[in-house]
Amino acid sequence: MTDRPDPLPHLLAVAHALRREGQPRATFAALQAAMGEAIGHILFTVLLHHHDTGESERFWTSHPTQYPVGGRKPLNPTPWTQQVLRDQRAYIGRTAEDIRAVFFDHELIASLGCDSVLNVPVVWNGRTLGTLNLLHRAHWYREADVKVAEAFAALAVPAYLLLLRR
């Protein structure tokens, strides 16, 4: 396990991205870069949660070939959906077995060299808007990463609100 850098400069980079034109993409690009530096990821995705249909929609991805933007997938009631979407608590999967137990696309995830995951809910006014998803090699994520990731998720709220208005 490596030491993490001071997250403040990376949080500020995202805060400054909120000022730029080209939203919400400017914010998501900044989140991808900043969270990569502050926490680390091989794969980064942004999912929008549609409460009315119970679906998830990928809006941003670091790997557009393997995980293209667009399209919706149904979210089945699982312990993961309860924890992340309903209870609004981050999920850490530390091993390939943890990923296999939660995600149907675990083979594709593994093919990218990812054996751990950190899913962070983006919440506004008591409502889960979606998730920021970071994946890396096994045992990469730890509990201390959750607080930093939650700060990034709070900065993502304006971008998510723009998505919901489209």
Residues across the chain: 166
pLDDT tens digits along 20-79: 999 999 999 999 999 999 999 999 999 999 989 999 999 999 999 999 999 788 888 899
Domain ranges within the chain, ordered by starting residue? 8-165
Numbers of helices and strands, H then E, in the chain: 6, 6
pLDDT range class, residue 2, cuts 50, 70, 90: low
CA atoms within 13 A on the CB side of 50: 17
Calpha distance 27→14 (Å, rounded)? 6
Cis omega (within 30 of 0) for bond into 158: no
Asked if 93 contacts 99 with a C-beta cutoff of 8 angstroms, the reply is yes
Q: How far apart are CA 18 and CA 10, in angstroms?
A: 13
Mean pLDDT rounded to a whole number for the chain: 95
CATH number for domain 8-165, candidates 3.30.450.40, 3.20.20.70, 3.30.420.10, 3.90.700.10: 3.30.450.40
CA distance 113 to 84: 24
Report the pLDDT averaged over residues 101-108.
94
Q: In the numeric block, which tokens belong to residue 115?
A: 């054996």
Sign of the C-alpha dihedral, residues 93, 96, 102, 108?
Answer: positive
Q: Residue 58 has what pLDDT?
A: 95
